[in-house]
Amino acid sequence: MTLVAPIIAGNWKLNHGPPETKRFFERFLPLLPAATGTVAFFPPAISFASAREALAGRSDVLLGVQNVHWETEGAFTGEISARMAADAGAAFALVGHSERRHLFGETDTDTALKTRAVLDAGMTVILCVGETLEEREAGLAFNVVERQIDAVSGILDSSDLQRLAIAYEPVWAIGTGRTASPADASEVHGHLRAVLDERWGDEARTIPILYGGSVKPDNSAELLAAPDVDGLLVGGASLDAESFAAICSGRA
Ligand code: PGA
């Protein structure tokens, strides 16, 4: 699948069960008659089928899952596999979201295993990277995102790069209302671009870099216009149909 920029993705986290999902799309779809660029939602796994049903006939709006296990099947209570997600119609999976890393103890090794599983299932990975406030204040933002990229680089070969996107999500900006300025975002995106270039050369040019962390209708346009920002990963503001439609249509 070719990712057309800008990529605007809504991560619903633990919000919107099946009935709310149906209601959301009844409001949202008329507000976005045709998506330009790539629009994708990451509903909770239990709401995935409702989202898919609501999106019948709307091939311009894609779906993904928030998390997968790297095993294909077996005794792993509570988990879903990348293969199952792909079979259900997911085009994407988030890997390494900061809530997975910091609330659920996901390690760099886990993100590498999950990245491989998602690619092997034929989906596109959105690999989330980002530093905590403490790491930023210690001047380590670049080192942290570089380490998080390198954790997966060993399991990728050049044919995988077409199905990889990076989301820079500074932990201090997620759900806090404290957005990185366009200049802050661009600075780290520029560094990520240089790291990708160093690791894979020209073939990495297609890898989009999204920004995430307190994106709202009133700051989305300036973030999207910042150098090296190819899309947005939106949490809280993606739960409201009007807000997210405004972000997607650039009408914000
Ligand atoms: P937020 O979440 O927009 O609510 O800060 C972003 C994310 O975690 O992906």
Determine the distance separating the centroid of ligand 1 and the alpha carbon of 17, expressed in angstroms: 18
What is the distance between the alpha carbons of residues 133 and 145, in angstroms, rounded to a whole number?
Answer: 13
Examine the residue annotation and report whether 26 is marked as an active-site residue of this protein. Answer: no
Q: Residue 58 in contact with residue 25, Cβ under 8 Å?
A: no
The proportion of the chain whose per-residue pLDDT surpasses 90, expressed as a percent, equals 90
Asked if residue 1 has pLDDT above 80, the reply is no
**Pocket of ligand 1 contains residue 234 by CB under 6 Å:** yes
What angle do the packed helices 217-225 and 182-200 form, to 10 degrees? 40
What confidence tens digit (pLDDT) does each residue in 173-231 have? 988 888 889 999 999 999 999 999 999 999 999 999 999 999 999 999 999 999 999 99
Model confidence pLDDT, tens digit, residues 66-121: 999 999 999 999 999 999 999 999 999 999 999 999 999 999 999 999 999 999 99
Which among 11, 12, 239 is the best mutation to test ligand 1's pocket, defined by most ligand atoms within 8 Å of the CB? 11
- The predicted model scores a pTM of 0.96
**Spatial CA neighbour of 129 closest among 162, 161, 171:** 171
Is pLDDT above 90 for 38?
yes
Q: From the candidates 99, 106, 135, 169, which is the catalytic residue? A: 169
- The mean pLDDT value of the chain amounts to 95
| Segment holding 136, helix H or strand E | helix 133-137
Buried b (16+ CB within 10 A) or exposed e, 194-204: ebbeeebeeeb
What are the residues facing 179 on neighbouring strands?
none
Give the residue, by CA position, lying nearest to ligand 1 atom 7: 235
Q: Is the pLDDT of residue 3 over 90?
A: no
- Cα angle: 32, vertex 34, 38; to 5 degrees: 95
169: annotated active-site residue:
yes
Residue with tokens 């995430």: 212
